[in-house]
């Protein structure tokens, strides 16, 4: 490891960070080593990474000193926050600032920050076409990360801003997979109308981050969008039907109808889908598929991801 550049990976046991850890460990000639940051080094997921060759370091985004120690001696870091652990946008901003400060003080040469657009640039707070949430956000999980971009700039961090996309894994973990309707047939409910959704396999985010590190300083200060596919809800339903071997109808609720579902996060996701639907061109253009594949040729399409993960999608 002494002759390799160390990448400190925040959230190493998560999907984004885990994808990066495995990408680094799978590239023995790449000149990089991985330091996996985790709150619980004794967890099963952390120990699995250790068995693959990762250096484990205990660190907490709420503890500046632990981040300082974790970044010490590293060449670069992958930084990410986790909105759906707490639903507190301001917490994300504090954590991002702590990472930015630690990165600067430890002299990191390259940081990749996983972020999104500020949706209030598309839909101002006084725009009543969608509700304002938590008093000052339209899509909190997007807007907070976009605000946190400033921390990396203000601390003078050598950073690449990576715009991520809708995770295909939301069909597995966030209750967005097909559900049985009143007639017993499966329905995929997405408030996207006939517009395309820019999406990605979560592990491909980490793999794309590795490609950014390998690209070197050419991408410092730049914003890089990543997506594996642009697909409509109808196309997703057709792909699901093909892989599951049964009919899957597309149920294109309006965003307002989606917000009224009352499920956890329905308002947050309803607003998110509405912005991505109404500003489809801008969101897809920021995640140009040709550019994304030029960076990372192994990006999975929705169909490719689905063929490997169909058995993991709960059908309720």
pLDDT higher than 80, residue 85: yes
Q: Which two tokens stand for residue 143?
A: 């807007």
Residue with tokens 């991801």: 305
Summarised one tens digit per residue, pLDDT across range 249-286 is 999 999 999 999 988 889 999 999 999 999 999 999 99
- Helices and strands (DSSP H and E) totals, the chain: 13, 13
Band of pLDDT at residue 2, cut at 50, 70 and 90: low
Give the pLDDT band (50/70/90) at residue 208: very high
Q: Tell me what the mean pLDDT of segment 25-37 comes to.
A: 92
Nearest-angstrom CA–CA distance, 37 and 10: 5
Question: Measured on CA atoms in the order 285, 290, 296, 298, is the torsion positive or negative?
Answer: positive
The answer to whether residue 30 scores a pLDDT higher than 80 is: no
CA 67 to chain centre: 21
Question: Does residue 171 have a pLDDT over 60?
Answer: yes
The stretch 111-138 carries a mean pLDDT of 97
| For residues 124-132, average pLDDT | 96
Whether 133 has a pLDDT exceeding 80, the answer reads yes
Yes or no: say if 37 and 8 are a contact pair by the CB < 8 Å rule: yes
Residue 180 token pair: 């049985």
Whether residue 1 is predicted with pLDDT greater than 60 in this model: the reply is: no
């Amino acid at each position: 490891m002494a002759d390799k550049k160390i990448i400190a990976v925040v959230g190493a046991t998560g999907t984004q960070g885990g994808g990066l850890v495995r990408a680094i460990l799978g590239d023995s000639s790449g000149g990089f080593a991985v330091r996996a940051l985790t709150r619980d080094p004794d967890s099963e997921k952390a120990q699995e990474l250790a068995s693959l060759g990762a250096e484990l370091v205990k660190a907490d985004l709420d503890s500046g000193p632990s981040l300082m120690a974790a970044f010490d001696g590293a060449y670069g870091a992958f930084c990410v926050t986790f909105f759906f652990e707490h639903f507190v946008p301001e917490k994300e901003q504090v954590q991002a600032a702590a990472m930015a400060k630690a990165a600067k003080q430890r002299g990191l040469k390259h940081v990749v920050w996983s972020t999104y657009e500020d949706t209030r640039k598309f839909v101002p707070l006084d725009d009543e076409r969608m509700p304002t949430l938590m008093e000052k956000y339209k899509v909190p999980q997007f807007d907070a990360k976009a605000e946190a971009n400033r921390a990396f700039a203000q601390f003078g961090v050598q950073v690449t801003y990576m715009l991520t996309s809708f995770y295909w894994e939301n069909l597995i973990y966030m209750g967005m997979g097909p559900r049985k309707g009143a007639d017993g047939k499966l329905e995929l409910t997405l408030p996207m109308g006939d517009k395309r959704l820019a999406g990605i396999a979560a592990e491909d985010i980490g793999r794309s981050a590795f490609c950014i590190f390998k690209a070197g300083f050419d991408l410092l200060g730049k914003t890089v969008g990543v997506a594996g596919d642009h697909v409509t809800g109808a196309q997703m339903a057709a792909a699901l039907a093909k892989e599951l071997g049964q009919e899957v109808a597309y149920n294109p609720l309006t965003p307002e109808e989606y917000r009224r579902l009352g499920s956890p996060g329905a308002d947050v996701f309803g607003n998110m889908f509405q912005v991505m639907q109404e500003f489809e061109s801008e969101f897809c253009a920021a995640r140009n598929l040709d550019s994304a594949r030029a960076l990372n040729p192994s990006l999975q399409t929705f169909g490719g991801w689905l063929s490997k993960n169909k058995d993991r999608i709960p059908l309720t």
